[in-house]
Amino acid sequence: GAGVSQSPSNKVTEKGKDVELRCDPISGHTALYWYRQSLGQGLEFLIYFQGNSAPDKSGLPSDRFSAERTGGSVSTLTIQRTQQEDSAVYLCASQWTGRTDTQYFGPGTRLTVL
């Protein structure tokens, strides 16, 4: 079946603008993660959704970052008043918790803040 998809693949925005990044997880996967990958760095956990439970937002770097997951499927990561340090690749991963340990990653959205 289809893998995790993310859109847009690239986003260039001006400092101070808001951006929305979208993630479509693998159908049936109950868990969804957002990570940030800065140039030459590892993957930084941002937020985790599991079913109908309250999300784990412990990795969000500031209150300018928020995310939601509608209907237990599609997720949107919103960054308000973008700053240049927000420039990174934002990766989404989904996981069929309970059956497999594997997190399946999407191709990412490369965000550039000018």
Partner 1 sequence: QQQVKQSPQSLIVQKGGISIINCAYENTAFDYFPWYQQFPGKGPALLIAIRPDVSEKKEGRFTISFNKSAKQFSLHIMDSQPGDSATYFCAASKGTYKYIFGTGTRLKVLA
Residues 35-64: x where in contact with partner 1 by CB under 8 A, - otherwise, as a string? x----xxxx-x--x-------x--------
Report if residue 105 touches partner 1, rule: CB under 8 A.
yes
Joined together, the tokens standing for residue 75 give: 């997720």
Report if residue 91 touches partner 1, rule: CB under 8 A.
yes
Contacts of 20 (CB under 8 A, 6+ apart): 76, 77, 78
Q: How many residues does the chain have?
A: 114
CB 47 within 8 A of CB 31: no
Q: Which residues bind partner 1 (CB under 8 A)?
A: 4, 31, 33, 35, 40-43, 45, 48, 56, 91, 93, 95, 97, 100-108
